[in-house]
Amino acid sequence: AQSVAQPEDQVNVAEGNPLTVKCTYSVSGNPYLFWYVQYPNRGLQFLLKYITGDNLVKGSYGFEAEFNKSQTSFHLKKPSALVSDSALYFCAVRDIDPQGTDKLIFGTGTRLQVFP
């Protein structure tokens, strides 16, 4: 089965500095990878996805992610962090199990804290 790992429970960064939230994946075949963000007391919001094509994917709110096949990573990045970026970030991969169930498998989440 496919899986994703988010090795950091929390990432702290100063406002204005670049940020990176890490995600590694384990898949058979070509991965379909996603990033979602969850603000307090809210549902998940889609940020970006990688299906195929350019390894650098640009998404909402100035976020981007780089797909690296050799390192099996899909790290989320932003050149200049904002305090309002503070939230819980989830990496996800599409999985089709042997029974044919098509679903998203989410990582455990990384809490991003941006300090003024």
Shortest Å, Cβ 110 to other proteins? 12
Which residues, in sequence order, are CB contacts of 60 under 8 Å at separation 6+?
Answer: 45, 46, 47, 48
The residue with tokens 């089709």 is 96
Report the alpha-carbon angle 23-65-78, nearest 5: 105
Please name the amino acid found at residue 93.
Answer: V
Q: Give the per-residue contact string, 53-92, with other proteins (x = CB under 8 A; - = no).
A: -------------------------------------x--
User: d(Cα 31, Cα 94) in Å, to the nearest integer?
Assistant: 7
Q: From the list 22, 66, 106, 111, which residue makes contact with other proteins (rule: CB under 8 A)?
A: 106
Q: Give the per-residue contact string, 14-53, with other proteins (x = CB under 8 A; - = no).
A: ------------------x-x-x----xxxxxx--x-x--
Q: What residues line the site for other proteins (CB under 8 A)?
A: 32, 34, 36, 41-46, 49, 51, 90, 94, 100-109
